[in-house]
Amino acid sequence: MDTSDRIEQMVGPRKPVPSDRYQEHGQNAEMLWGSVEARDYLTPTDSFFVRSQSTTPVIDAERWQVAIDGPAVNREIAISYPDLLSLPQVEYVRALECAGNGRRFFESTYGLEAEGNQWGLGAVGVARWSGPRLRDVLELAGVGPGAQFVVPEGLDADRVRRPMPLSKALEEDTLVALTMNGEPLRVDHGFPARVIVSGWAAVASIKWLGRITVTTEPVWTRWNTELYVMDDDTGTTPDPIEEQVVKSTLELAWEANLSPGPQTIGGRAWSPHGCVAHVDYSIDDGPWRRAQMVEPNFKRAWVRFRLKWNATPGAHTIRTRAVDDSGNTQPEDVAWNRHGYLYAGVIAHPVSVTVQPDPG
């Protein structure tokens, strides 16, 4: 059933995105790392980045349905919010990260701006998501033996569609999330339901879910041909991006301003594959030292870390480098790609240390 003509389409974030917590990029909003509280493991929903490619549909959950269709389902059905609630509800703490997170470091590395929002590193967050597993939702329609691809579709103006192979759709932490951090999804984050494809670039985590099509053939949409592909400008057909990469950053503004003397600086490191094994840091190109990690350390989410530093007046840089529990390490830099995806290179965070004026 197509209810989309009755849906109001708004543009831009509906929640407040104040400038002490967010950097706006057109209709998108990046979390500012300088506003992150070391005590919060989860990203508060009020600070979570927003990336909506066309519109923000405002959906009435009581009239809303999700169609499950396509040549590889046993029966085409339409399911409601109560149908989703009647399935077993599971909860996972998982990162959601835009493939373009860190894009602006292509410009600083190569002197050439990659296409798209010039995100710093704040197009990432970790939340607690709950709802049924996608595989249980698909089972309501019955998945036929020829099934190959699963294509969730959004109810926004562009009908964002990013296909995934059946095997990814069936993973235990691929969800149809109804809640985020213990409350119903906010409009900006996909109310009434969004997909969460753990470990993958967030474009696959379709918001405002309206349809799920199961096919017997690969499916090509704008979001796995032109967009969200690793285009290295060599003219060969680029591969679609699937998994994210290991990264780390500091909970500091860019650039940061600190007072001289002993400092404890917090940061976060994350891996789409598993848990972070350790994080090293280097101040002013000095020796690499191990940072202290702070529990919890959930898989495909992040871990907090901290480092102690006796800051001296002047201009400094702090680098961090994470390794995950399968040995994936952040590289020194990342090959150029036209759309500036998957920037995972080690970043020199600028920190200036000055005697702060006495407010006295």
Interacting residues toward ligand MTE by CB under 6 A: 48-53, 96, 98, 154, 156, 160, 188-189, 202-203, 205-208
The nearer residue to ligand MTE, 205 or 215, going by C-beta atoms, is 205
How many residues bind to Mo ion according to rule CB under 5 A? 4
CA angle 83, 84, 89 (to 5 degrees): 130
The residues facing 317 across adjacent strands are 350
- Cα–Cα dist 49/271, whole Å: 18
156 binds, options ligand MTE, Mo ion, none, Cβ within 5 to 8 A by partner type: ligand MTE
One character per residue 148-187, x = contact with Mo ion (rule: CB under 5 A): ----------------------------------------
Inter-residue contact 281 to 248 (CB < 8 Å): no
318 binds, options Mo ion, ligand MTE, none, Cβ within 5 to 8 A by partner type: none
The SS3 assignment for 318 reads strand
Q: Which tokens is 181 given?
A: 């951090």
Inter-residue contact 257 to 249 (CB < 8 Å): no
154 binds, options ligand MTE, Mo ion, none, Cβ within 5 to 8 A by partner type: ligand MTE
Which of these ranges, 16-24, 194-202, 245-253, 283-291, lies near Mo ion under the rule CB under 5 A?
194-202
Counting contacts by CB under 5 A, is residue 207 touching Mo ion?
no
- Cα–Cα dist 235/233, whole Å: 6
The nearer residue to Mo ion, 283 or 334, going by C-beta atoms, is 334
- Output the smallest distance, CB 203 to Mo ion, in A: 5
- Output the smallest distance, CB 65 to Mo ion, in A: 26
Count of residues for the chain? 360
Prior bond of 313 cis (ω within 30°) = no
Greatest C-alpha distance within the chain? 74
Residue 327 phi, psi (nearest 5): 90, 5
The nearer residue to ligand MTE, 189 or 321, going by C-beta atoms, is 189
- Output the smallest distance, CB 214 to ligand MTE, in A: 18
Write the DSSP symbol of residue 291.
P
The nearer residue to ligand MTE, 169 or 291, going by C-beta atoms, is 169
The nearer residue to ligand MTE, 48 or 281, going by C-beta atoms, is 48
Type of residue numbered 70: G
25 binds, options Mo ion, ligand MTE, none, Cβ within 5 to 8 A by partner type: none
- Cα–Cα dist 124/155, whole Å: 23
Among 98, 151, 175, 301, binds Mo ion (CB under 5 A): 98
- Output the smallest distance, CB 220 to ligand MTE, in A: 18
- Output the smallest distance, CB 100 to Mo ion, in A: 6
221 binds, options ligand MTE, Mo ion, none, Cβ within 5 to 8 A by partner type: none
CA atoms within 13 A of residue 331's CA, in its CB half-sphere: 7
79 binds, options Mo ion, ligand MTE, none, Cβ within 5 to 8 A by partner type: none
Residues 14-73 that bind Mo ion (CB under 5 A): 51
Q: Cβ-closest residue to ligand MTE?
A: 154
- Cα–Cα dist 285/307, whole Å: 15
The nearer residue to ligand MTE, 49 or 92, going by C-beta atoms, is 49
- Output the smallest distance, CB 99 to Mo ion, in A: 6
Rounded-to-5 percentages of helix, strand, coil across the chain: 10, 35, 50
Instruction: For residue 122, give the nearest of 47, 12, 26 by alpha carbon.
Output: 47
Inter-residue contact 117 to 102 (CB < 8 Å): no
The nearer residue to ligand MTE, 180 or 334, going by C-beta atoms, is 180
**What is the contact surface with Mo ion in residues (CB under 5 A)?**
51, 98, 202-203
